[in-house]
Amino acid sequence: MSVIYVLWLRQLKRYFRSRSRVIGSIGQPLMFLLALGFGFGPMYQKAGGGSYIQFLAPGIIAMGILFSAVFSGMEIIWDRQFGFLKETLVAPVSRIYIILGRILGGATVALIQGVMVFVICLIVGFRVENIVMVPVALVFMFLIAVLCAAIGTAIASVLDDVQGFQLIMNFLIMPLFFFSNALFPLDGLPKGLRLVIHLNPLSYGIDGLRGVLTHGFRFGLGLDFLVLGMVTAILVAIGSYLFSLVQI
């Protein structure tokens, strides 16, 4: 179990040593929050939807987590190129512990960024309707982080090229975010698009966040936890299996 702690701590140290990474990680969510929140806010309100910031903020929090967690898998490729991965794999420990340490480390970093985005949302005007449910929101944020970190780890385990990883991740995470309920409600959407959103596991994480923070559940707390938890467990298992096939 100590190897899990060591790898977890190593990723945290990498994150906090890079000030540019800390600042840059919140740049894109902040841009979306300000541009969309205040740009589309008046139209959303005129359409009878209320405050768009209240609707949008949980999706932007998930966005901050998503990008950070998925790209944490890139560190596997870097470590492979610079030899650290080889040193880790030859250690007399199970690869399951190694991959769990990496996933938990990436998820923790993403959770920290999600909390930072959450604080920014509060400054901009987002209001939590039930402060008691904030710990539940943190659980949803962590599950989203683990889910996305597992995706990044699984992809990085079968690639050895940073540019290829970035292309695949951009092709994957943009649809994952935009074809969710992060930016728009499901009411009135075409059936095909609604089906895609229902099949997207990120939709359930965002719905859980939105529900516990603003009482705006679409699917329900139980279903959100069930789907997000099951898909996360499956992706962690897939990522662990693919990492076990990595050649030294």
Is residue 235 within 8 A of residue 70, CB to CB? The reply is no
Q: What is the pLDDT of residue 188?
A: 80
Spell out, as residue ranges, where the chain has pLDDT lower than 50. none
Q: What is the pLDDT of residue 37?
A: 83
Q: What is the pLDDT of residue 229?
A: 93
Q: What is the pLDDT of residue 227?
A: 94
- Angle between helix axes 201-214 and 52-71 (nearest 10 degrees) is 140
pTM: 0.89
Q: What is d(CA 162, CA 165) in angstroms, rounded to the nearest whole number? A: 5
Q: What is the pLDDT of residue 88?
A: 67
